[in-house]
């Protein structure tokens, strides 16, 4: 699906060290993130991304991730996959 953007593609696992810092960088740079091997519990620090709680400050789009505001690049994309056959995620 994103063959033409493979230089901007990052594959992460929730067990990866500092994966949130990598996601923060990807959000600011407008990269594509594939978060794979998710369990039924998704890290609550990803909630602002999942809910797209983006706010406009002056002429910039910002999102609050972790403990800081990060500039949100509109080219950022997040894909999530799981190996679970029938996962049940909260709404």
Going from N- to C-terminal start, the domains of the chain cover 3-80
Q: What is the pTM of this model?
A: 0.84
CATH architecture type of domain 3-80: 3-Layer(aba) Sandwich (3.40)
**CB-based contact 27:72 (threshold 8 Å):** yes
pLDDT digits (tens, 9 = 90+) for 1-26: 666 666 678 889 888 888 899 999 99
Looking at residue 35, its pLDDT comes to 92
Radius of gyration from C-alpha coordinates of the chain: 13
Stretch 59-88: mean pLDDT: 91
Tens digits of per-residue pLDDT, 30-40? 999 999 998 88
Copy the structure tokens of residue 8: 């901007």
Angstrom distances, CA of residue 39 to CA of 42, 59, 70: 7, 37, 26
Distance CA 4, CA 9 (A): 10
């Amino acid at each position: 699906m994103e063959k033409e953007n493979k230089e901007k593609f990052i594959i992460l696992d929730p067990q990866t060290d500092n994966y949130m810092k990598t996601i923060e960088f990807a959000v600011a740079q407008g990269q594509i993130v594939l978060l794979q091997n998710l369990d039924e519990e998704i890290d609550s620090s990803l909630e602002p991304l999942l809910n797209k709680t983006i706010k406009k400050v002056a002429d910039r789009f910002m999102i609050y991730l972790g403990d800081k505001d990060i500039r949100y690049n509109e080219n950022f994309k997040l894909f999530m996959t799981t190996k679970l056959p029938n996962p049940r995620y909260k709404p």
